[in-house]
Structure 1
Amino acid sequence: MSCLDRQTVLIGLDGASFTILDHLMEEGTMPFLKKLISLGCRGELTSVIPPLTPPAWISLITGVRPGTHGVFNFLQFESPKSRYIKWLSFRDIQRETIWSIVNRHGMRAGSLNFIGMNPPPAIRGYIIPGFVSWRWLRKNSYPEDLFDRLRGIDGFDVKEMALNFREEEKAVKGCQREEYEDWIWLHIRRERQWFDVVRYLMKHDPCHLTAMIFDGLDRIQHVCWRFLDPAYALKAHAAWEEKVRRLCLQYFRNLDEFLEQIVDLAGPQANIFIASDHGFGPTREILYLNQWLCQQGYLKWKDNTAMGTKSVAGQSEDIESLGVESPYRSLLHLDWKKTKAYAATASSNGIIIQVAGKRGEEGIPANEYFSFREELIDKLRNSCLDPQSGEPLIKEIWTREEAFAGNFIDCAPDLTLSLRDSGFISIYPSEVYCRPRSQIMGTHRPEGVFAAVGPAIRKGEVIPPTSIINVAPTLLHTLGIPIPSDMEGQVITQIFDPAFLRAHPVETGAPTVPPERNQDASPQREDAEGQEQIMLRLKSLGYV
């Protein structure tokens, strides 16, 4: 048990959905989580637009929307004037995080497995970032001696803990039959590594705010949704499929045990929060958005661009690949002089409008931007239709002002789409612009999960849906920290015991301060190392 006078623990479950968790709790796979939630509050946590890991987690830890913190995707434009797409880093986060706010009020904070935390800021506590390959994980952790201490953990293996980027391609491309078991075991072992680390640090380096993410849920649900969703999982399967389903359930049993031990370590006086960056649901089809744009005359592929099962680089490619793993290859094969609009990345479901003078001389005149955008919206609504049924393939379209209002709107997509089955687009060329998937996969949905339990929390309450930007101010309130005046989220007061709120009313404090970058390395050395790390990750993912 921690010796701290007050303690808050945030357990992030990447991609968690009550569609799955409720079923697993009721059937006995996750008995501790069922008991824990019954002792506190629960509700739906509404993600950002679009419901994507980087902007969602950054919104959760800053309490502001993507247009304010500046993060829109895993890869995003270097600047409003650049056509260069770069990997997300801490330098892109333009708002103060809860780790820094907690530190400024004399408390310690720990951050484990959050994306965008590299290179790590110097904080009172510790940081091990997520989405970093094993070769760079130690260099991007803080403090510098942290990994020396972690080597004392029995079975500690940085290669097991870090992401294997080649393996992670399966989350969007799917698995072959013989690959499922190895894929699930990979994430069972990874979660064990992260659990061992958080257990060690809670025992030996306690913090007032401890926050960590288990991200195997997202990966497994992408590939194994049909084995988990009760709408599909309870149907008869072949013997090998039943084996895969049992292994998926083993992952969640292990996770339930980890949750129990973390809560026990925190002690009865700690307030425990569980949150996800987004939810999940099934996807059954693929929309080749760039191909549709091509057919409508808005995009032109270079003449040597192959269609169908060949990638734009001429290499053999899965016909159901979205292009998440290789956006650069796709963009290299656009005829920029004849392209007015294009999708740069599959994960953003966004369309970029080429405006002359913004990212090059090509594109529409700047004074035609709004009329062109309205024309494109109309075409997407009325002409992007199912070739068989004639039904719209797009259920919602947001302009950048609607989705990303804020100081960094100029780096955001011009249009963001929600497809009828909430799937991700493909940016690849294709002979057709829409085709059914060979099997059901999982995809992101905006309805995530939120739960809270502890001495300050009401018991047995189900709250209305609340925004993900409300989590940060709520965590701060449990620690007695005034809510920064420029934080867009608000404290979720419905979850607190009335007596706690009377004794601890919500207070508004000074605005946040600009994020502090790590000054330990010289800028030249840090930039060179950062670029090398980015290229390593992009190559391992197939981006370049």
Structure 2
Amino acid sequence: MTRERATKVVVIGLDCAEPSLLFERFADRLPNLSRLRDQGVWGKLRSCDPPITVPAWMSMMSSKDPGTLGYYGFRNRADRSYEKMTTATALAVHEPLLWDFLGAAGKRVILIGVPQTYPPRPINGLMVTDFLTPSIASNYTYPPDLKEEIALLPEVHPYEFDVSDFRTPDKGKIRDSLIRMTDKRFALARHLLTTKPWDFFMMVEMGTDRVHHAFWQYMDPNHHRYEPGNPFETVIVDYYVHVDRKVGELLKVLPKDTHVLVVSDHGAQCMDGGIALNEWLIQQGYLVLHESPATPSRLESLKIDWARTTAWGSGGYYGRLFLNVKGREPQGLVAPEDYETTRDRLVSELEALGDPDGKPIGTRVLKPENLYRTIRGASPPDLFVYFGNLRWRSVGTVGTGQIHTFENDTGPDDANHAQDGLLIAAGPGIAPAGPIDGMQLMDVTPTILRLFGLDIPADLQGRVLKPIASHEEALA
């Protein structure tokens, strides 16, 4: 049986929203999101590798993996030199995105806060850029005069792209900033949805990510710093309840025939600690410094003996490890014929690295060619390191002499990312079907294209999720 084509689709993105919290632990306190679940389909949404905001949202919106996109995090090597790095903004996005396909079909689009949309570019509709936007002094809208309209909205101005410092120890300040930022984002969403023409609307709220990183230790009895009855114990659940209320207010202004998808790009989990990747490389003889620092220092600030260095790494929610290959890097040491044996040795040794007591932590070390259809970009990592399967952060600084740490090198941070985000979909023709398995974030774009009855480009890597958009539906 053929379904009617969608006329309007809304995507509410909640960065880092964790399925175990939204679907289980907090579910009875989230009436609007739970009602959407009951009305449609839902389940875990497998993220990309690596499961972080950049590149995950663009992988979702392009239906291409990060290898095809050509960037593997916020910061990437610009070339094969040792020093030059670039930040992956919208300028790094070269693949067509969902709203490009929709615009070409004449659909009007409104976007708010979708990561990697700054700086803005022309679309068939309106765009308000993302958390990478420097400030409201920047050109952050398309068309440019939309910025002037936003400045006249008392509920929204001054607009906030992110909390100013979600790793500050001033937890009360973060809590208040999160609520203020979220209220402004949803107020802007309601304004644009009710005053502008649109066929497709998408917003992404970053607060769900920030609240996990700032407050997980106060909520989770499994966190090594958890104290029962602490004053911030309910901040995360209170924030989810607040977001649920804002989602409910947004749903009330939507036409009744709207298809609604709620998605997150990855999940969250307790951070057990950190592994100082470069300290380990130094101790194992893979990374050689001309002089050891007297205090903890960023690797980029130190003098590295590149002629004697085999590998070095970058910190973050996951580790990126680079080999110093002869003929590829300026002072390469690893002969090309030894490249695979060197990588295999590093994989084996890193996966065997345990906790401070030597107990296994389940580290996974992945080769990019096993993750992606193709590998682009000036200098992709040679290995991806998921310490403790992402329960341990990769720490890039050196100078402590310790491999294991329980202090974050970039400021207080309680949570790491998890590989499963979530998806809820409800709307005309979507029968209540309970949880569905096997969803991946690259499936979102082809599914929405099918909802609109549009052809799906052959090079998209995702598939249509049949419980949401029937495979038998007639195409345009």
TM-score normalised by L of structure 1: 0.80
Superposed displacement of residue 111, structure 1: 1.7
CA distance in 2, matches of 1:155, 1:339: 55
CA distance in 2, matches of 1:484, 1:375: 40
Report SS of the residue matched to 1:148.
helix
- Report the CA distance shift for 1:379/1:142 in structure 2 as closer, same or farther (over 3 A): same
| Structure 1 residues 69-118: Cα deviation after superposition (integer angstroms, max 9, x where no partner) | 12211011223567411111222112101111111111111221122212
Q: Is the 8 A contact 2:259 2:426 kept in 1?
A: yes
- Report the CA distance shift for 1:415/1:17 in structure 2 as closer, same or farther (over 3 A): same
User: What one-letter code is carried by the residue in structure 1 that aligns with 2:161?
Assistant: A
Q: Which residue of 2 aligns with 1:369?
A: 339
| Structure 1 residues 362-394: Cα deviation after superposition (integer angstroms, max 9, x where no partner) | 332233212221222222233x23341x23345
Gaps of 5+ in 2: none
> Match for 2:364 among 371, 389, 396?
396
Within 5 A, what are the aligned runs for 1:316-331? 329-331=298-300
Q: Does 1:9 align with 2:7?
A: no
Superposed displacement of residue 155, structure 1: 3.0
Gaps of 5+ in 1: 313-328, 510-544
CA distance in 1, matches of 2:31, 2:223: 22
Within 5 A, what are the aligned runs for 1:344-383? 344-382=314-352
Q: Which residue of 2 aligns with 1:124?
A: 124
Q: Is the 8 A contact 2:26 2:237 kept in 1?
A: no
CA distance in 1, matches of 2:12, 2:111: 10
CA distance in 1, matches of 2:136, 2:430: 39
Q: Is the 8 A contact 1:403 1:416 kept in 2?
A: no
User: What one-letter code is carried by the residue in structure 2 that aligns with 1:373?
Assistant: R
Within 5 A, what are the aligned runs for 1:248-267? 248-267=236-255
Report SS of the residue matched to 1:44.
strand
Q: Is the 8 A contact 1:20 1:230 kept in 2?
A: no
Within 5 A, what are the aligned runs for 1:1-400? 6-23=7-24, 25-28=26-29, 30-79=30-79, 83-135=83-135, 138-158=138-158, 161-165=160-164, 167-168=165-166, 170=167, 175-176=168-169, 179-229=170-220, 237-238=228-229, 241=230, 243-306=231-294, 310-312=295-297, 329-333=298-302, 334-382=304-352, 384-388=353-357, 390-400=358-368
- Report the CA distance shift for 1:408/1:65 in structure 2 as closer, same or farther (over 3 A): same
CA distance in 2, matches of 1:5, 1:421: 39
- Report the CA distance shift for 1:136/1:189 in structure 2 as closer, same or farther (over 3 A): closer
User: What one-letter code is carried by the residue in structure 2 that aligns with 1:350?
Assistant: R
Q: Is the 8 A contact 1:344 1:427 kept in 2?
A: yes
Q: Which residue of 2 aligns with 1:476?
A: 449
Q: Is the 8 A contact 1:282 1:440 kept in 2?
A: no
Superposed displacement of residue 9, structure 1: 0.5
Superposed displacement of residue 207, structure 1: 1.7
Q: Is the 8 A contact 1:59 1:468 kept in 2?
A: yes
- Report the CA distance shift for 1:372/1:493 in structure 2 as closer, same or farther (over 3 A): same
Q: Does 1:425 align with 2:394?
A: yes
CA distance in 2, matches of 1:375, 1:25: 43
Length, aligned pairs only: 465
User: What one-letter code is carried by the residue in structure 2 that aligns with 1:428?
Assistant: T
User: What one-letter code is carried by the residue in structure 1 that aligns with 2:85?
Assistant: I
CA distance in 2, matches of 1:440, 1:137: 29
Q: Is the 8 A contact 2:37 2:434 kept in 1?
A: no
Q: Which residue of 2 aligns with 1:519?
A: none
| Structure 1 residues 5-34: Cα deviation after superposition (integer angstroms, max 9, x where no partner) | 811001111001121113454442x21111
More helix by percentage: 1
TM-score normalised by L of structure 2: 0.91
CA distance in 2, matches of 1:440, 1:486: 38
CA distance in 2, matches of 1:230, 1:198: 36
Q: Is the 8 A contact 2:17 2:264 kept in 1?
A: yes
| Structure 1 residues 415-444: Cα deviation after superposition (integer angstroms, max 9, x where no partner) | 112221513200011221013469992110
When structure 1 is superposed on structure 2, of 142-151 and 395-404 the one drifting more is 395-404
Q: Is the 8 A contact 2:90 2:119 kept in 1?
A: yes
Q: Is the 8 A contact 2:273 2:393 kept in 1?
A: no
Report SS of the residue matched to 1:266.
coil
CA distance in 1, matches of 2:334, 2:78: 21
Q: Is the 8 A contact 1:112 1:213 kept in 2?
A: yes
- Report the CA distance shift for 1:461/1:455 in structure 2 as closer, same or farther (over 3 A): same
Structure 1 moving runs of 4+ over 6 Å: 230-233
Report SS of the residue matched to 1:150.
helix
Superposed displacement of residue 136, structure 1: 5.4
Report SS of the residue matched to 1:484.
coil
CA distance in 1, matches of 2:292, 2:407: 27
| Structure 1 residues 278-303: Cα deviation after superposition (integer angstroms, max 9, x where no partner) | 01111112111110111110002341
